[in-house]
Amino acid sequence: MSADTYLNLVNGGFTGKLAKQLGLPQPTPLRRFQEGQALLDGPVLVIGDDELARLLSADWDLDVHRVAAPDLRYSAVVLGLTSLTHPSELAAPVLELAGVLKRLARGGRVFTVSRAATSDDAPAVAAARQGVDGFLRSIAKELRGGATANGLVLGSDVPVTAPSVVGALRFFLSTRSAFVDGQLLEVDSLAGSLPASWDRPLAGRVAVVTGAARGIGESIADTLARDGATVVVVDVPAAGEHLVVVANRVRGTALQLDVTAPDAGARILEHALARHGRLDIVVHNAGITRDKLLANMTPEKWDSVLAVNIASQLAINEALLTSGDFTDAPRIVSLASTSGIAGNRGQANYAASKGGVIGMVRATAPLLEVFGGTANAVAPGFIETEMTARIPAVTRQVARRLNSLQQGGLPVDVAETVAFLASPAAGGIVGRVLRVCGQNLVGR
Torsion of CA 417, 420, 422, 424, to 10 degrees: -170
C-beta neighbour count of 378 within 10 angstroms = 29
Residues carrying an active site annotation: 350
Detail the DSSP E strand segments found in 297-381.
331-335, 374-380
C-beta neighbour count of 288 within 10 angstroms = 15
d(CA 245, CA 247): 5
- CA-based angle 214:217:219, to the nearest 5? 85
* 97 φ, ψ (degrees, to nearest 5): -60, -45
CA quadruple 28, 340, 369, 422: dihedral sign: negative
Contact 340, 377 (CB under 8 A): no
* 107 φ, ψ (degrees, to nearest 5): 70, 20
β-pairing verdict for 331-335 and 281-284: parallel
- In single-letter form, the type of residue at position 288 comes to I
SS3 state at 372: coil
SS3 state at 292: strand
d(CA 68, CA 56): 16
d(CA 234, CA 259): 8
Q: Can you count the helices (H) and strands (E) in the chain?
A: 16, 13
d(CA 265, CA 330): 15
d(CA 153, CA 184): 6
Question: Distances from the Cα of 354 to the Cαs of 331, 407, 412, 434, in angstroms?
Answer: 19, 23, 20, 13
- The DSSP symbol for 199 reads S
